[in-house]
Amino acid sequence: MVPRLSGHKRLIGHLALVVAVAGLWSALARRPLWHTDLWGHLAYGRWMIEHGGATPTTEPFLTHTSDRPLVDTARWSQLIAFQLMRAGGVEALQLVYATLVVGCALLTVSPVLASRHRQRIPAAICGASVFLAVGWQQLLIIRPQLAGLACFVGLLALLHDPRPSIWRVIVVGIVMGLWANLHGSFVIGWLLLGSHAVGRAADRFRRTGRWPSWKSDRVFAHRLRQAAVGLLVPLVATPYGPGLPLSIWQIGQHPNLADIIEWQPLQWHQSQARAMLASIVLVVCVAMSGRRRVRFSNWLMLVALGVATLSCSRMINWWAPVAGLVLALQAASINTKCPVATTLASSERRTVLLASLVVAGVAMSSTPAVRGLLTERETLQARRPMVSASTPVEVTRWLASHPPGGMVLASYEWSDFLLWQGPSQIRLLVTSHAHLVPTEAWTDYFEVIGVASDWRQRLRRYDIRTVVLDRHRQGKLLAALATDPGWQQDYSDALAEVWSRKP
């Protein structure tokens, strides 16, 4: 007979989990904020607050696209992020970022942590590690997609429990309603709900050998109710109504997105591609070694999202948590001799709770973000070292005191930060909302950056009098401007240069 885990070992396992979670949260809370995406969404949130909470119907920052309708699928995320920034500055955003990423990791493996498997804590740590390693490139940036990911992993954990309950149906509706207003990725939730309904029918056939068995299955009926509610709620919970899914599909098919790397097919030279391959091998090996069968719904999600990731690398954001959950579930069931562990005694639970409070206090007090919240600061101004080294803080400050006239061609990666912290009336040729930029203007931007033979004529076409360029990424165009008698350098630092057309 195999002995049960001693109380000492159980306690060590729980304390190790607490330390791992606190360490991850503390490390993420120290990360400087990335220089793309976030700042443009903050600018949208500020615009909505300045206009009484109204949702923009056209692009408010690109004057040459003012006639194009705007479907803002992330308006709640933008409003919440701006209110956090206004209340607590960059430090508040850092804390929310760390909390969201750690929360997504815990939700991913929560079905394992809630079980009584003996190996649940090591298995959960392995599953969360796979989620973080595979999805890391998508987790680097604070953007509405992170809110969508939180909804996805929450729904994934909720659907793991198949027991029929009206409350679980209601919670599905609430999650899908929130998701539809936080980010346009809620359509992935439809795939998740459909996979669990189809997967339940397939699992019944695998168990009974009879296809009609699903007709009398209460769990399958419960899955259908969840899918129906999850399908209908997003169609009525947003101002865009039933036409929202079509608008999201049209955004994803816009030709401008083909020039953005995360909308391109997954390439082997990308680190996330190698991480995905390693996790596939690991999941298959562990699935073959575990006591339990992988649910058909999980296989459906792994295959469907895996194929989608190969054609659009951004989809790995949704594949990673499914892979992490499957790995954790299978790893927890590998030990066949003693699969069940005893629960902690009351004294042990108190020890874990006290240790959690102490470790959490130490982790929070040691982060620059928490210390910064206690000091007086300019909350709406991003500053170093709280932002990434590639953030154009200094040149944006200079532009704010020297507002450029006419259209401005700025590095695409910097356009969002210029909208957020630059001159209030700045007119940019392109911004991060690539699908709202006219295709001709988008093409001209890349032709000018690449110094096409007619780059001067392309700049005149839009009356561009100022260019703001990255010295490390747009050196070819900077060299061309330096030899052109019609342009002069107005500003330069270690990161950026500003050139203007001579009168």
Cα separation, 405 vs 501, whole angstroms: 10
Contact by Cβ (8 Å): 173, 210: no
- Together in a domain, 360 and 398: no
pLDDT (tens digit per residue) in 212-257: 777 788 999 999 999 999 999 999 999 999 999 999 999 999 999 9
- Together in a domain, 371 and 423: no
Contact by Cβ (8 Å): 134, 275: yes
Strand-pair partners of 464: 407
Q: State the pLDDT at residue 344.
A: 60
State how many domains the chain has: 2
The encoded tokens of residue 164 equal: 């029929």
- Together in a domain, 446 and 349: no
Cα separation, 445 vs 174, whole angstroms: 42
- Together in a domain, 371 and 424: no
The encoded tokens of residue 27 equal: 């490390």
Give, for 181, the enclosing helix (H) or strand (E). Answer: helix 166-182
Residue 327 domain flag: no
3-state SS assignment for residue 425 = coil
- Together in a domain, 414 and 348: no
Domain encompassing residue 419: 393-501
Cα separation, 467 vs 429, whole angstroms: 10
| Alpha-carbon torsion angle 92, 98, 99, 104, nearest 10 | 150
- Together in a domain, 456 and 481: yes
Residue 181 domain flag: no
Q: State the pLDDT at residue 2.
A: 42
Residue 256 domain flag: no
Is the pTM above the cut of 0.85?
A: yes
Q: State the pLDDT at residue 7.
A: 53
pLDDT lower than 70: segments of the chain? 1-10, 66-67, 335-353, 355-356, 359, 368-377
Residue 93 domain flag: yes
Q: State the pLDDT at residue 219.
A: 92
Residue 113 domain flag: no
Give, for 490, the enclosing helix (H) or strand (E). Answer: strand 487-492
Q: State the pLDDT at residue 356.
A: 67
Count Cβ atoms within 10 A of the Cβ of residue 172 and give its class: 0-12 exposed, 13-18 middle, 19 or more buried.
Answer: buried
Widest pairwise Cα distance in the chain:
90
DSSP line for 217-254: -HHHHHHHHHHHHHHHHHHHSSTTGGGHHHHHHHHHT-
The CA-atom distances, in angstroms, between 239 and each of 73, 148, 181, 249 are 10, 18, 9, 17
Q: State the pLDDT at residue 15.
A: 81
- Together in a domain, 79 and 1: yes
- Together in a domain, 379 and 417: no
- Together in a domain, 370 and 432: no
Nearest residue to 131 (alpha-carbon basis) of 326, 320, 306: 320
The encoded tokens of residue 389 equal: 């080294």
Count Cβ atoms within 10 A of the Cβ of residue 305 and give its class: 0-12 exposed, 13-18 middle, 19 or more buried.
Answer: buried
| Alpha-carbon torsion angle 445, 450, 453, 458, nearest 10 | 10
Last residue of some domain: 383, 413, 438? 383
Cα separation, 25 vs 367, whole angstroms: 10
Q: Is the dihedral of CA 456, 462, 468, 471 positive or negative?
A: negative
* CA-based R_g, the chain, Å: 25
- Together in a domain, 402 and 356: no
Q: State the pLDDT at residue 467.
A: 97
- Together in a domain, 376 and 443: no
Residue 244 domain flag: no
Last residue of some domain: 383, 405, 437? 383
- Residues contacting residue 491 through CB under 8 Å, at least 6 positions apart: 395, 398, 402, 497, 498
- Sheet harboring 407-410: ordered strands across? 427-428, 407-410, 464-470, 496-501, 487-492
Cβ neighbours of 2 (radius 10 Å): 8
Q: State the pLDDT at residue 42.
A: 97
Cα separation, 57 vs 71, whole angstroms: 7
Cα separation, 385 vs 457, whole angstroms: 39
Nearest residue to 38 (alpha-carbon basis) of 339, 459, 432, 394: 432
* Entry field: residues in the chain: 503
Residue 211 domain flag: no
- Together in a domain, 398 and 496: yes
Last residue of some domain: 383, 410, 432? 383
